[in-house]
Amino acid sequence: MSQFTRRDFIRRGATGAAGLSLLMNGKRVAAEPAAPMPKPASPNDRVNVGFIGFGIRGNILMENTRKTGQANLVEVCDCYQGHLERAKERTEGKIAVNFAQYQKLLDRKDIDAVVIATPDHWHKAIFLDAMAAGKDVYIEKPMTHKIADGHAMIEAARRAKRMVQVGSQWVSSAQNQKAKKMIAAGELGKVTKVVAAYNRNSSTGAWNYPIPPNLRNGVNFNWTEWLGPAPQRDYDPARVFRYRKYWDYSGGISTDLFVHLINSIHYIMGATMPSSVVSTGGILYRHDGREVPDTLDALFEYPEGFHVTMSSTFNSQSATGQGIQFLGTNGSLTLLLGKPFLHFAGESHAEGYHYSIDSWPVALQEQFMNEGDHRAEVVRKPPAPEELATEDSMDSTALHLAEFFDSVRTRKRTGEDAEVGHRSAAAGHMVNLSYVAGKKVIWDAGSGTALI
Ligand SMILES: NC(=O)c1ccc[n+]([C@@H]2O[C@H](COP(=O)([O-])OP(=O)(O)OC[C@H]3O[C@@H](n4cnc5c(N)ncnc54)[C@H](O)[C@@H]3O)[C@@H](O)[C@H]2O)c1
């Protein structure tokens, strides 16, 4: 850590949660150099982008696309007119709007790339249509709704030679990148355990998003198009705005929240897929008609020689309620979601022999203690814990999008391409398969399937 200069001391009270605990007294060290902000592209160099799905996330993605200075916002498609009106407001009326006919957007020759931010049950079909139309694609996480979707999507991207970025933006943060470097450099020793949590304790956190009071199917909303490839059923606005509560459209906690943690763990640890996953969960608090669990605990085994425990519960005040802790033989590193720092705590290596040799004859104890450094007892004291500041030049979503737009121009692979996105989502699906079956699920790398 010689590249850091010591700045000041901080005192940070912290409580443990879900098996995690933060350092208590830490030194703060100076900021990492920020990830570079790209220079705004010249008008001819800008990527022409269409947006399919302009709800909560599409709205954020459009703002961040604008911030990158790398793209022209051309057209937006959605099944709800209210969202299209909002897109017009955000672009001073400049963007073209398309009500529930995404194929028409894909047919436009002047659009280079599309951002797909629909609910998960539509991801595969729209992605395949975009590939067939020759578009590069930024697709939201989870890339898939089912493991098998990923195989078809990877194959289509390969055949069409299209660039893909999957939207787990946390990996584009300076924080994730610094953690990856530290672990690769061996600063934590051998990391055998990763503990991660994504807790939320609010109605919004439980996906009970408000339903717009003007929503009217057949007037300003198209239920048939929204439902698309999902099983047919009567119009239900709660399913539209709270779709994460139902298996037909989402994988709940695991594919909505865990997938962010899984993707970062894969990136930081240089891992690809867990060899097995076992999980348990239930509906312990939100008895509101949801099908997916509101509480989930999972244990992943990785062939690289580490285990991950991951959980989601309601307590959001705990210091590491949304974060990952990497536990190594020489130290631990804690990342809190969206925070511009890392906590590093060195490990002590203490050996105390009195306890284990007291049952020996005294003369033998003395002989042993006089050998080597057995009397030293504490071989290495832990260094003071440190808070390592990291600083992004832009929101990590903008950085993630900027990497995609660069890839569209240069044809250089993105960091989170279809294969990476597929694996993160597949690990999330394994959690759900295990939860439903009540059994450990094994990943069969040869066939790329989960065996129950
Ligand atoms: N990366 C992140 O941090 C992050 C955060 C939130 C959501 N997401 C992801 O973004 C996606 C969307 O989530 P959301 O919260 O924005 O949901 P949302 O319900 O707010 O928005 C989805 C939009 O897609 C539209 N839509 C559905 N079918 C369509 C179709 N056939 N054509 C055009 N539009 C269609 C809906 O009308 C809706 O407006 C999900 O996959 C979610 O996991 C990612």
368 CA distance to ligand 1 middle (Å): 67
Q: Report whether residue 169 contacts ligand 1, using a CB cutoff of 6 Å.
A: yes
- Residue range 77-96: average pLDDT? 98
Q: For residue 78, name the pLDDT band (cuts at 50, 70, 90).
A: very high
- Residue range 305-326: average pLDDT? 89
pLDDT surpasses 50 at 266: yes
pLDDT surpasses 60 at 169: yes
Instruction: Average the pLDDT over each of 99-103, 175-179, 215-219 and give the range with the smallest value.
Output: 175-179
pLDDT surpasses 60 at 119: yes
- Residue range 178-199: average pLDDT? 96
54 CA distance to ligand 1 middle (Å): 7
- Residue range 355-368: average pLDDT? 94
- Residue range 203-209: average pLDDT? 96
- Residue range 128-136: average pLDDT? 98
Q: For residue 330, name the pLDDT band (cuts at 50, 70, 90).
A: very high
Q: What is the pLDDT of residues 12-64, one digit of tens each?
A: 223 233 333 343 345 555 555 446 678 899 988 999 999 999 999 999 999 99
pLDDT surpasses 90 at 68: yes
Q: Report whether residue 56 contacts ligand 1, using a CB cutoff of 6 Å.
A: yes
Mean confidence (pLDDT) of the chain: 90
271 CA distance to ligand 1 middle (Å): 28
* 3-state SS record for the chain: CCCCCEEEEEECCCCCECCECCCCEEEEECCCCCECCCCCCCHHHCEEEEEECCCHHHHHHHHHHHHHCCEEEEEEEECEHHHHHHHHHHCCCCCEEEECCHHHHHHCCCCCEEEECCCHHHHHHHHHHHHHCCCEEEECCCCCCCHHHHHHHHHHHHHHCCCEEECCHHHHCHHHHHHHHHHHCCCCCCEEEEEEEECCCCCCCCCCCCCCCCCCECCCECHHHHHCCCCCCCCCHHHHHCHHHCCCCCCHHHHHHHHHHHHHHHHHHCCCCCCEEEEEEECCCCCCCCCCCCEEEEEEEECCCEEEEEEECCCCCCCCCEEEEEEECCEEEEEECCCCEEEEEECCEECCCHHHHCCCCHHHHHHHHCCCCHHHCEEECCCCCEEEECCECCCHHHHHHHHHHHHHHHCCCCCCCHHHHHHHHHHHHHHHHHHHHCCCEEEECCCCEEEC
Q: For residue 319, name the pLDDT band (cuts at 50, 70, 90).
A: low
pLDDT of residue 10: 27
Q: Report whether residue 256 contacts ligand 1, using a CB cutoff of 6 Å.
A: yes
Please give the residue that has the higher pLDDT: either 348 or 451.
451
Q: Report whether residue 226 contacts ligand 1, using a CB cutoff of 6 Å.
A: yes
Q: Report whether residue 129 contacts ligand 1, using a CB cutoff of 6 Å.
A: no
243 CA distance to ligand 1 middle (Å): 10
Query: In order of start, what are the domains of the chain with their CATH numbers?
Result: 6-35+176-348+382-394+419-428 (3.30.360.10), 349-380 (no CATH)
Residue among 51, 57, 200 whose CB has most ligand 1 atoms within 8 A, to mutate: 57
pLDDT of residue 15: 27
Q: For residue 448, name the pLDDT band (cuts at 50, 70, 90).
A: very high
- Residue range 324-345: average pLDDT? 93
pTM of structure:
0.92
Q: Report whether residue 54 contacts ligand 1, using a CB cutoff of 6 Å.
A: yes
pLDDT surpasses 80 at 131: yes
Q: For residue 101, name the pLDDT band (cuts at 50, 70, 90).
A: very high
Q: For residue 9, name the pLDDT band (cuts at 50, 70, 90).
A: very low
